[in-house]
């Protein structure tokens, strides 16, 4: 009998922010995953790009921290950086615009392409289940 491969996860941007700054906002299921030392929970450059843009527009309060501080905290934590490949970026047009946020659509596409489970509190992403997205809310 073979053991199935462990599940790997890709965190939505708000999940990363909450995990670092406000973990009580995470669901019990997501908390169990992000605190499991054996779980592979990835973050993407897309997350940091979204944080940097939103912060730069003055629409994201990081409680006195900068996007660079968020990156440093992620690197020091159990989260693992998942590079965004050119192939994933170029093929992202295949995913229909069921969600208006381009950052979320690219994270969804990366999760689908990489066989990862998306960690997100955003129920809108559930619309991508027919395209292979698996989500934990």
**Domains of the chain and CATH, by start:** 8-136 (3.40.50.1010)
CB 70 within 8 A of CB 51: yes
What confidence tier does 5 reach under pLDDT thresholds 50, 70, 90? Answer: low
| Average confidence score pLDDT of the chain | 95
Q: For the segment 33-77, what is each residue's pLDDT rounded down to a tens digit? A: 999 999 999 999 999 999 999 999 999 999 999 999 999 999 999
Decide if pLDDT at 4 tops 80: no
- The dihedral sign for the CA sequence 114, 117, 122, 125: positive
pLDDT score, position 78:
86
Would strands 117-119 and 8-11 be described as parallel, antiparallel, or unpaired?
parallel
CA distance 27 to 88: 29
Q: For the segment 82-100, what is each residue's pLDDT rounded down to a tens digit? A: 999 999 999 999 999 999 9
CA distance 57 to 111: 27
Give CA separation, 63 vs 17, 20, 22, in Å: 11, 11, 11
CA-closest candidate to residue 126, choices 8, 12, 4: 12
Would strands 117-119 and 80-81 be described as parallel, antiparallel, or unpaired?
unpaired
pLDDT score, position 7:
87
């Amino acid at each position: 009998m073979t053991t199935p491969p462990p599940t790997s996860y890709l965190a939505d941007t708000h999940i990363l922010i909450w995990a670092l700054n406000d973990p009580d906002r995470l669901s019990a299921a997501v908390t169990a995953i992000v605190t499991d030392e054996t779980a592979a929970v990835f973050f993407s450059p897309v997350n940091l790009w979204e944080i940097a843009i939103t912060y730069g527009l003055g629409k994201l309060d990081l409680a006195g921290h900068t996007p660079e501080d968020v990156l440093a905290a992620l690197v020091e934590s159990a989260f693992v950086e998942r590079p965004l490949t050119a192939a994933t970026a170029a093929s992202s047009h295949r995913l229909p615009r069921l969600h208006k946020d381009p950052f979320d659509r690219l994270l969804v596409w990366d999760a689908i392409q990489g066989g990862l489970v998306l960690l997100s509190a955003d129920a809108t992403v559930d619309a991508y289940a027919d395209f292979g997205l698996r989500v934990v809310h």
